[in-house]
C-alpha cells in the first residue's frame, strides 16, 4: 500500500501530463486518464498484473490511492480489507478501482466479476460507494463496468 506516496506521485503525474491536481474524477474517461499513469506501461510491464484503488471525497476529488502488485508473480492478490481500511483512514466517500490487462483484451473475466461483486458488497458495509471498475490496456483501451451497465452486480 502506498497511500503516503500519493501526493508525490500525483504531483509528478500532474507535471508530466499537465493535469490539474484539483480536477475531479467524474467519468470513466477521467478515471482512465488518472489511473493509466499509475500502471507505467513499458516493455515487459504487462508481464505483471497491477491493481489500484483511487479514493475520492464526496465532491469527486482524489484524496488517496492504494496499489497492489507482486514483483515475482504475473497476478495480483487484492487485499480488500486493506483497501477499505485505507479508504476509511483518508475519509473517502467513493472509490474507483482498476487493474491492467496483461493482454490487449479488456473484457472482464469471471474472476473480475466476482472481485467487483465482493468489493462492492464489502464497501457498502462501510458506507463507501464503488463508482466503477476499469480494466486498462497499454494500448489506450479500457473497459468500464459502469459504462457497460454492469454496476452494481
When pLDDT is averaged across residues 73-78 and rounded to a whole number, the result is: 75
Facing residues of 100 across strands? 136
Q: What pLDDT sits at residue 145?
A: 98
Comparison of pLDDT for 58 and 3, the residue scoring more: 58
Percentage of the chain lying above the pLDDT 90 cut: 51
**SS3 for the chain, per residue?**
CCHHHHHHHHHHHHHHHCCCCCCCCCCHHHHHHHHHHHHCCCCCHHHCCEEEEEEECCCCCEEEEEEEECCCCCCCCCCHHHHHHHHHHCCCCEEEEEEECCCCCCCCCHHHHHHHHHHHHHHHCCCCEEEEEEEECCCCCEEECCCCCCCCC
When pLDDT is averaged across residues 92-106 and rounded to a whole number, the result is: 90
pLDDT digits (tens, 9 = 90+) for 38-73: 776 654 455 678 889 999 999 999 999 888 876 667
Split at pLDDT 50, 70, 90, the class of 142 is very high
Q: Which of 68-77, 85-94, 103-112 has the highest mean pLDDT?
A: 85-94
Q: Sketch out the chain's domains with CATH numbers.
A: 3-144 (3.40.140.10)
Angle in degrees, 0-180, between the axes of helices 110-124 and 80-89, rounded to the nearest 10: 40
- Whether 135 and 106 have beta carbons less than 8 Å apart is answered as yes
Q: Which three cell numbers stand for residue 153?
A: 452486480
Amino acid at each position: 500500500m502506498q497511500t503516503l506516496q500519493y501526493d508525490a506521485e500525483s504531483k509528478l503525474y500532474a507535471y508530466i501530463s499537465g493535469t490539474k491536481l484539483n480536477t475531479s474524477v467524474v467519468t470513466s474517461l477521467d478515471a482512465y486518464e488518472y489511473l493509466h499513469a499509475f500502471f507505467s506501461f513499458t516493455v515487459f510491464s504487462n508481464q505483471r498484473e497491477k491493481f489500484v484503488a483511487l479514493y475520492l471525497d464526496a465532491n469527486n476529488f482524489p484524496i488517496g490511492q492504494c496499489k497492489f502488485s507482486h514483483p515475482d508473480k504475473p497476478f495480483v492478490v487484492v487485499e480488500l480489507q486493506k483497501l477499505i481500511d485505507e479508504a476509511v483512514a483518508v475519509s473517502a466517500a467513493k472509490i474507483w478501482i482498476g487493474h491492467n490487462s496483461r493482454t490487449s483484451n479488456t473484457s472482464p473475466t469471471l474472476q473480475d466479476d466476482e472481485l467487483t461483486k465482493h468489493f462492492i458488497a464489502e464497501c457498502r458495509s462501510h458506507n463507501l460507494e464503488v463508482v466503477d471498475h476499469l480494466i486498462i490496456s497499454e494500448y489506450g483501451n479500457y473497459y468500464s463496468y459502469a459504462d457497460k451497465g454492469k454496476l452494481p452486480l
